[in-house]
Amino acid sequence: MKTILLMVHDDPGQEARLQCALDIARATNGHLLCLDLVRIPVVVDAYGAGIGAQATVLTVERDREDRNIHRLQQRLEGEGVSHEWQRAQGDFGHSLAEAARLVDLVVMSSKGAPGLIDQGDLPGRVAQSVTAPILVVPPEQRGFDIGGRAIVGWNGSATAATSIRAALPLLKRAGSVEILTIEGGDTPANPDHAARYLARHGCQVTAEVVARTGDSGRAVSTQLRDALFAADWGVIGSYGHGRLRERLFGGTTWTLIEETPVPLVIAH
């Protein structure tokens, strides 16, 4: 992971994103591309003064992000990690997708931009448009233990295989990797296939099949989430069938991204 795109915005998830990105950059001798995002406010005004009000609010947003960048720049200078800065103004999903064309990993929050209710589906929107893997980070996360225990959710799908290949540079550095398959899914899956693939790359890997504890996709996401509590980070593909609002990810996967207790690598 030589080029790591870090989503920068003054929200409650920023510290978690930063710490994870720094840990990965140190472990891989990588470079941080820090993309600061500025929202364009929407101001509704029936009296025709909306343009002026929008400009005022936009200036406030820029000033806040200027202060945010200043704080982070001072901090990064002492971290010993190669980095650079870019700024984008407008739609967060489009800005991240534009910046992610030549990166190896995108680091963002599992809840999009915590505190901004209109950005909750940001990971799904970005994943539609980028080929790089995405690391989604819970807002309360503090650091990324790359040498710890990783759990890979495996259902035999093409998306799950893509996620494993995309996460390989990280999985090779994990202390242990467990391939977890929950039986009874829509796609017949043998976790031994994924385990042998990773073992050939030098991973310390085990495989396990567990029985599904319910009939719904929600039951699968709950089991995967509970398994992740015993891990330091995870890798998942797509589970279940997509609904309109979820676009790329099925209901099981989308629920897991929103509720994950640890950082998750996802890829399309």
The DSSP-derived string for 164-197 is HHHHHHHHTT-SEEEEEEESS-SS---HHHHHHH
In DSSP terms, 211 is beta-bridged to none
Lowest mean pLDDT among 188-202, 209-223, 247-261: 247-261
pLDDT on residue 247: 42
pLDDT on residue 49: 47
pLDDT on residue 113: 80
pLDDT on residue 79: 93
pLDDT reading at 245 higher than 50? no
d(CA 158, CA 239): 11
Asked if 201 and 232 count as a contact pair (C-beta separation under 8 A), the reply is no
pLDDT bin (cut points 50, 70, 90) of residue 221 is confident
Considering the entire predicted model, what is its pTM?
A: 0.88
pLDDT bin (cut points 50, 70, 90) of residue 127 is confident
**Helix (H), strand (E) at residue 4:** strand 3-8
Instruction: Please report the domains of the chain, with CATH numbers, ordered by start residue.
Output: 3-137 (3.40.50.620), 149-266 (3.40.50.620)
pLDDT on residue 51: 52
pLDDT on residue 182: 87
What average pLDDT is seen over the chain? 86
